Structure 1
Amino acid sequence: MQLTLRLTEMATGIRRCMYCGDGLGTDIDHFEPLAEAPLRAFDWPNHLLACSHCNSHQKRELFPRDEDGTSLLVDPCAEDPYEHLELVLSTGVYEALTPRGDATIRVFGLNRADLVRGRAAAFIRTISMLRDRVRLLQTDGEEATEIVTSLRDQPFADVLYAMLRYRSLPGAHLVLRGREVVDALGDPALHFWHHAGGFEPRR
């Protein structure tokens, strides 16, 4: 129970899967499967909160390695996924930047149709909420604060994080659909991540 509570605190959104960011985190997954590393059964860094689909239907016991035996899967709590993956905001599709990114997309099914559609919708929703927040900051600070809470708690928090990353790139206003959105993303209240990948790092 304590482990579940701790992992829930680390996950983005309201108890969201640490792999897909959409499903409710109902399972505790051993990132490195116990079949390969039985001594890591109680190793805290080896536990992640996952939805039943990612845990039981996608990852299962899969744990691809390179020729040196190093894991090809990106650990979302130990490293920045965006060193290996790029989210195309307009389509909701993840593209691989490295072989590790490719393996991660494949094993977790990150480009399955429901996730792609959900991310594309989250992008439009986030743009709308950011524009609303800019206007509300002039008239209703309490409701503007509620928007930040909603952005933090919604599924597909990776969309907002990708937008924050795009903000500093040339031509960001084209990708993010306007300078108003680019400026809104500069709001310090939106920078609530503790770690580059969107998750709190292990302690």
Structure 2
Amino acid sequence: MIRLRRDELPPETAAHLTTYTEQIAQAAAPDRKTRAADLWGNTTVRRRVRDELLATLAGMAPGHERCMYCGDGQGTDIDHFEPKSLAPLRTFDWLNHLLACSYCNSNQKRNHFPRSDKDGSPLLLDPTLQDPLSHLRLVLPLCMYKGLTDQGEACIAVFGLNERAVLVEGRRTAYGTAKQSVELWRIGTDRGQHDKAAEVVRVAWNRPLADVLVGMFHQSDHPAAALLFDGEEETLDLLRDPALREAFLSRV
């Protein structure tokens, strides 16, 4: 999971969302859940908003339309961050929409929306509002996540970030290819092949599990980086190179 920027919707789509939210609000409180579900499932309504919602979310997503939660699967579903069954008035709220793969949406998250026992605030992370790096740390040698906060722990549990073997193994592969990417950038730059170096950066960010690349750069700047990259001093030196950091991080 990485920090993402939320884009603006086309004005016509945004206007449709406002209209449907008003229609839900006009229903009696006990009926809003049913009204929201009926509207969201209505063929005409979906035709008016679904394509633009998906297109805009896809443009915000990491890699080639990757899931905003696991970073691996293709983002095919419009997920309601706060489930519409729990918050029907947010069914057509653009700020409540994220792009998810079908596995994260239908198998993992479903209607789970844990809240803090202290103040009732959401425990899941919305990467368009919060920086996951403040809540999750990727332990690079293991390619598993450690929760730094209650929100981080909740995301690990709800999305199965450490329990899904395909994600852990995928991160291991991503870690290997990310290290190769920074090495190839260095080689290309040293040879004056700047177009090739730029292509290395583009490809690196368009791979699945871009959270691994983000974690590498973040941890290379940590006071304990020497321990975090023990045995990988060459990679650490590359990640700390100002020119390389500028080339890679300017795309984030």
Fold-level match, TM-score > 0.5?
yes
Aligned with residue 163 of structure 1, among 216, 235, 252: 216
Matching of residue 98 in structure 1 with residue 149 in structure 2 = yes
Matching of residue 190 in structure 1 with residue 240 in structure 2 = no
Once the two structures are TM-superposed, the CA of residue 109 in structure 1 deviates from its matched residue by: 0.9
Matching of residue 15 in structure 1 with residue 68 in structure 2 = no
Letter of the aligned partner of 1:113 in structure 2?
A: A
Once the two structures are TM-superposed, the CA of residue 45 in structure 1 deviates from its matched residue by: 0.8
Contact 2:182 2:239 in 1 (8 A): no
- What is the aligned length? 194
Once the two structures are TM-superposed, the CA of residue 121 in structure 1 deviates from its matched residue by: 1.5
Listed as ranges, the matches of 1:49-128 within 5 Å are 49-67=99-117, 68-111=119-162, 112-128=164-180
Query: Which residue is equivalent to 2:13?
Result: none
Identity %: 46
Contact 2:239 2:245 in 1 (8 A): no
Once the two structures are TM-superposed, the CA of residue 87 in structure 1 deviates from its matched residue by: 0.5
Q: 1:171 to 1:64 in 2, by over 3 A?
A: closer
Once the two structures are TM-superposed, the CA of residue 170 in structure 1 deviates from its matched residue by: 2.8
Cα distance between partner residues in 1 of 2:196 and 2:226: 26
Once the two structures are TM-superposed, the CA of residue 184 in structure 1 deviates from its matched residue by: 4.4
Letter of the aligned partner of 1:46 in structure 2?
A: N
- After superposition, what is the alpha-carbon deviation per residue over 1:48-91, rounded to whole angstroms, capped at 9, x for unaligned? 00000000000001001122321111111110112111100111
| Further displaced range: 168-177 or 152-161 | 168-177
**TM-score, normalised relative to structure 2:** 0.73
SS at match of 1:151: helix
Cα distance between partner residues in 1 of 2:241 and 2:63: 20
Once the two structures are TM-superposed, the CA of residue 106 in structure 1 deviates from its matched residue by: 0.4
| CA root-mean-square deviation | 1.5
Higher helix content, 1 or 2 = 2
Query: Which residue is equivalent to 2:20?
Result: none
Query: Which residue is equivalent to 2:10?
Result: none
Cα distance between partner residues in 2 of 1:10 and 1:50: 12
Once the two structures are TM-superposed, the CA of residue 123 in structure 1 deviates from its matched residue by: 0.9
Structure 2 residues not aligned, in runs of 5+: 1-50
Larger RCO (alpha carbons 8 Å, 6+ apart): 1
Contact 2:61 2:99 in 1 (8 A): yes
Cα distance between partner residues in 1 of 2:239 and 2:226: 6
Letter of the aligned partner of 2:140 in structure 1?
A: L
Contact 1:130 1:184 in 2 (8 A): no
